[in-house]
Amino acid sequence: MADRTVHISAITASQRLDSRGKPTVQVTVTTGAGTSTALVPSGASVGDYEAHELRDGNASNYSGNSVHQAVENVDKIIGPELIKQQFNVGEDLAKIDRFMINLDASKNKSRLGANAILGVSMACARAGAAVKGVPLYEFLRKEAGITGPYLLPVPFFNVLNGGKHSGNTMAFQEFMIAPVGAESLTHAVQLGSEVYQALKSVITEKHGASAIGVGDEGGFAPPITEPSEALDLLTAAVKEAGHGETIKFAIDPASSEFYSEGRYDLGFKGNKPCQLSASGLADLYRSLMDKYPIILLEDPFAEDHWTAWSAFKKNCPIELVGDDLLATNIERIETAKEKDACNSLLLKINQIGTITESLEAAKKAFGYGWRVFVSHRSGETTDDFIADLTVALSAGHLKSGSPCRGERVVKYNRLMDIEDRLNVFGEPHEYAGAWMVKEKEIEYLQ
């Protein structure tokens, strides 16, 4: 089957629910190798430069969040036109994606909807893997042109939620733990889970049992306001779990959400006003990095505050990740390189809207000597696609929320399945923990 031409015989779409109970798009592609299905994620903290997620806007249907038009666009426009092209599914993912981009013909996929296009792209990638008779990560690895040993990612668990992901008064959106000292991916999941359970006990003891409710990504959302409070809770949980130096921290403030006219309002969620300039916020970050074992900082400044990014990057000793800044968009990545604004790309497949463009964005970032940090969305699904994508790219790290909630855990479970498979087949691989804390170059990505 690996060498024969296989065409798409049917493409159908349906409205289903994401992890927040909001509608999303499900796509099923049928070929001679069977059926392949994909579910599209959705964000809450959405940057201005992301591809357009098409929703119906009818207040009487899911409060305006239904996606019937996107579903219809798959069923009546994208599907029939793709089938006519008779693409070879096992070889033509890039051609399929480019055809859909041209069919939409807008700058941000607003005509047909990035959620419609991405669902087809994901399902076609799965169908291509089925036609080739290989796991999805292997199919995507070939599409990306990556060779050499496999690199299994460090999972960055978002265990404390703030910002738009929770109801507390914490401005910063995510506080993550990264088990860089683990012996394997499977061991890393164990360490993350143990710290997460210890954190539950620490929060209960300090704030009471009512404080252990979780946010959109499975992290706890206790009644805290200051970043130091969050990091102190993480420090106590790591100590209680007995894991010491094996665990490092990361922060995603998602600062575009509290930026206005050159100022950052850390009190934007209703607590007392706390307006900081970019330099004042930079000083806060540096004080936190001096005190806590932080190895990664994502979106510390707003998406168009280029001067703040570039100034901070000059003396930033850790991984500096662009999310809203870059929007998985090559034009934005090129601008960030010109301005020396960051050194890592946060890769979200629904920010750009096709798998091919996601791979191209990663290739561009790697070409600059940057890192690539693969990410879920706050409105996730039980689709585990990004776990395979992370392994395919040898990205070295992935964030998919806490070791809690099915739509988060399914990605970590898939990574453990992949590690087991690599072990069974004797495929050369390593866990990326040491790579995350030492500037280790990976030759086959350069």
Q: Give me the active site residues, please.
A: 217, 348
Q: 378 labelled as ligand-binding?
A: yes
Tokens at 22, concatenated: 């909001």
Q: 298 labelled as ligand-binding?
A: yes
Q: 252 labelled as ligand-binding?
A: yes
How many whole angstroms separate alpha carbon 31 and alpha carbon 88?
10
How many whole angstroms separate alpha carbon 295 and alpha carbon 299?
14
Q: 165 labelled as ligand-binding?
A: yes
How far apart, in Å, are the Cα atoms of 229 and each of 160, 241, 278? 11, 18, 22
User: Which residues are CB-neighbours of 5 under 8 A, at least 6 positions away?
Assistant: 88, 90
Say if CB 268 and CB 171 are below 8 A apart: yes
* Three-state SS annotation for 236-296: HHHHHHCCHHHCEEEEECCHHHHEECCEEECCCCCCCCCEECHHHHHHHHHHHHHHCCEEE
Q: 371 labelled as ligand-binding?
A: no
Q: Which of 434, 390, 436, 433 is nearest to 411 (CA)?
A: 390
How far apart, in Å, are the Cα atoms of 228 and each of 70, 170, 289, 334? 43, 11, 11, 34
Q: 50 labelled as ligand-binding?
A: no
How many whole angstroms separate alpha carbon 293 and alpha carbon 276?
24
Q: 75 labelled as ligand-binding?
A: no
Q: 72 labelled as ligand-binding?
A: no
Question: DSSP character for 145?
Answer: T
Tokens at 287, concatenated: 């004080």
Q: Which of 159, 227, 147, 135 is nearest to 422 (CA)?
A: 135
Beta bridge partners, 195, equal none
Tokens at 259, concatenated: 């930026």
Q: Which of 322, 354, 368 is nearest to 341 (CA)?
A: 322
How many whole angstroms separate alpha carbon 231 and alpha carbon 276?
20
Say if CB 75 and CB 27 are below 8 A apart: no
Burial (CB < 10 A; 0-12, 13-18, 19+), residue 251, is buried
Tokens at 78, concatenated: 């994208």
Q: 430 labelled as ligand-binding?
A: no
Tokens 């561009």 belong to 364
- The alpha carbon dihedral of 355, 358, 364, 365 has a sign of negative
In the annotated binding site, the residues are: 165, 174, 252, 298, 323, 375-378, 399
Binding residue positions for Mg(2+): 252, 298, 323
**Which segments are annotated as binding site for substrate?**
165, 174, 298, 323, 375-378, 399
